[in-house]
Amino acid sequence: MARRIRFRDIYFIENESDASIIETLLEERHIHCMVHGAAPIALFDARSGERRIAVEEEMYHAAREVIADAITRGIISKRGRFCD
């Protein structure tokens, strides 16, 4: 029986370069992620060009630490935001 993989949104960011860096950092730590295009949080809050990053649910906390560390170290900008 196949295991169902559940992804959870973790981070929103407009900068495509930062999204790519986050994707690379997560993959280096064997954290699978998906990066999607514009992701409206609500109908009144749609943002063009925004990237949504989602990770496997069980890796959420580890991924959050990777992203927070990248922000602290200046590897990515502070312009993004965590989903929760």
**Assigned token pair, 64:** 């959050």
Q: What are phi and psi of 12, to 5 degrees?
A: -115, 135
Q: What are the helix (H) ranges across the chain?
A: 16-28, 60-72
Is residue 1 scored above 80 in pLDDT? no
* 61-84 residue pLDDT tens: 999 999 999 999 999 999 999 987
Whole-number Å distance between alpha carbons of 81 and 56: 18
> Packing angle between helix 60-72 and helix 16-28, nearest 10 degrees?
120
Does the predicted TM-score (pTM) go above 0.85? no
Render pLDDT for 36-65 as a digit per residue (tens, 0 to 9): 875 454 444 445 578 899 999 999 999 999
Q: How far is CA 69 from CA 11, 17, 39, 43, 72, in A?
A: 14, 17, 24, 31, 5
